[in-house]
Structure 1
Amino acid sequence: MGDLYALDFDGVLCDSCGESSLSAVKAAKVRWPSLFKTVDSALEDWIVDQMYTVRPVVETGYENLLLVRLLLEMRLSSIRKSSVEGLTVDEILENWMKIKPVIVEEWNENRDALIDLFGKVRDEWMDNDLSTWIGANRFYPGVADALKFASSKVYIVTTKQSRFAAALLRELAGVTIPPERIYGLGTGPKTKVLKQLQEMPEHQGLTLHFVEDRLATLKNVIKEPELNGWNLYLGDWGYNTPKEREEAAKIARIRILELSDFSKKLK
């Protein structure tokens, strides 16, 4: 009958860490001007560099802002007393789900306000200098061609705002995916989207595949008996850690996927 692929975007199709980190630094300067006033270009480069290491913990884009500030606080904690004193990058990778609510409360932040700010900063960057914004992203090797020539039905299921995913697919990969096939931020949890996709009459009889780079997301799918029909894959090129890949390899439902095999599968 054919195949349906539900694909995560960041970390599966697109390496957007450069752009999301730079956007987060821009947004952090707007949100916390006094704190970021002293950040020079060398410190900014250090933050962006560290963001590549902590990127596996990000589920939704606004968390990049929290991480950018957290990294700065960690750097400054030697100068002034801070609750993050002694915190390490490894501990962020290990305990982000516990750290996040603590800092959100301590900094008196609001998730929706940060989401709006992050989107606004990206929109302004795109409006003022689209080519630089696009250039801060890259599609993984072979992915653009795999999408162009895919014989399977392809859906994008992402926590990125849909307009950014669509712009990158169009401008950077040269691929147009109809808007109704892009489920972005605000369309509900990925488990809910997968249920919607499998229930559509036109998808009956198709073999279902879900490709993700976050182990936590795949584990959420496994918890839902209704989603037992999905083949689950963890992309080993995305934003995950060796420890997570090791854990995934022991879970019967999950297959570890290499980039070259992913491109072949879509074609």
Structure 2
Amino acid sequence: MIAAPLLVFDFDGVLVDGMLEYWWSARRAALSLCPGQQLPERAPDGFALLRPLIHKGWEMVLAALELSRPDLDLGAYLSDYPQRTQQALERWELTPAVLQEALESLRAQAIEEDPEAWRALHQPYPGIPERLRRLEAEGSDWLVLTTKGGAFARQLLAGYDLQPKAVYGHEDGSKPEVLLRLSEASKALWFVEDRRPTLETVRETPGLEAVRCFLVSWGYLGPRDREALPEGIALLEPERFEQPLARWP
């Protein structure tokens, strides 16, 4: 009998839709660092376009600052995101550590002052909590691997009455690093993510060749992320996600 895999889920864009919270927190963190910038209460369209490119929390704070610039060339930002991000750090004279600290401090304050309001900015994708609860009945352990702070992810999961085997946040290392540590237990790993570049990095990491990678169709995907997926990465549709693991692609 084949042993059940250990399922490793990304959080934002896979289990939970946090777009409202992303802008809410990014905007406030940006204004705490650079008061006086003009940023709307409602997320501009450019923020949603940038979201599939954003990998870490500090980047969305920086993106909010960039979106406050009247002369921003959004097309160039989207087409050369890594270079434009580095230029933005220099323009605003900020570091990833400072941006990340501003974001996490703001989130911690929001949770302390009104945890229900903060949680309400997130919504689990339809059917996700129920499917995760069924995994245990099927004999499959699952955990969360996120670039969000682990404490924040645990707060949200507890609010949905979900208890993963573990939660790994950005403070635990990069996703490939954590997956390498998990692989030492020699149990089959299935990694479910909504960011194609992350999956491609995992596939290219020595020691992770055996990890089965799934790109969910419902997350924060770019317009071409579903096209011509490389070997070892399968598109996971909601209908297939609902089915037993043996029927996953």
Deviation at 1:93, TM superposition (A): 3.0
Q: Match for residue 81 of structure 1?
A: none
Please say if residues 157 and 182 of structure 1, whose CA atoms lie closer than 8 Å, have aligned partners that are also in contact: yes
**Contact persistence 1:146–1:264 (CA under 8 A):** no
2:148 alignment counterpart: 160
- Alpha-carbon offset, residue 2 of structure 1: 1.0
Q: Distance in 1 between matches of 2:205 and 2:242?
A: 28
In the alignment, the residues of structure 2 paired with residue 266 and residue 253 of structure 1 have an alpha-carbon distance, to the nearest angstrom, of 16
Match of 1:194 among 166, 179, 182: 179
Name the structure with the higher helix share. Answer: 1
Runs of 4 or more consecutive aligned structure 1 residues displaced over 6 Å after TM superposition = none
- Which residue pairs with 2:63 in the alignment? 67
Give the distance between the partners of 1:60 and 1:265, measured in 2 at CA: 32
What residue ranges of structure 2 are gaps of 5+ in the alignment? none
Q: CA deviation at 1:92?
A: 2.9
1:20 paired with 2:22, answer yes
CA contact (8 A) 1:17 1:51 kept: no
What pairs up with 1:64-103 in 2 under 5 angstroms? Answer: 64-73=60-69, 76-77=70-71, 84=72, 87-88=73-74, 90-103=75-88
In the TM superposition, residue 266 of structure 1 has moved relative to its aligned partner by 6.0
- What TM-score results when the alignment is normalised by the length of structure 2? 0.91
Q: Is the 8 A contact 2:15 2:124 kept in 1?
A: yes
Distance 2:245 2:152 in 1: 22
Match of 1:259 in 2: 238
Mapped to 1, the partners of 2:76 and 2:239 lie a distance apart of 32
Q: Secondary structure at the match of 1:244?
A: coil
CA distance in 2: counterparts of 1:266 and 1:91, whole angstroms: 41
- Return the alpha-carbon distance in structure 2 between the equivalents of residues 18 and 234 of structure 1: 22
**Paired residue for 2:214?**
233
Quote the Cα distance in structure 2 between the aligned partners of 1:232 and 1:144: 21
Tell me the TM-score normalized by structure 1: 0.85
Structure 1: stretches of 5+ with no match in the other structure = 78-83
Alpha-carbon distance change, 53 to 59 in structure 1, aligned in 2, over 3 angstroms = same
Separation in 2 of the partners of 1:194 and 1:62?
Answer: 22
For residues 57-76 of structure 1, the C-alpha deviation after alignment (integer angstroms, 9 at most, x for no partner) is 11011111111111111xx2
User: C-alpha distance in 1, partners of 2:41/2:5?
Assistant: 44
CA RMSD of aligned residues (A): 1.7
Q: For residues 244 and 93 of structure 2, what CA distance do their matches in structure 1 show?
A: 45
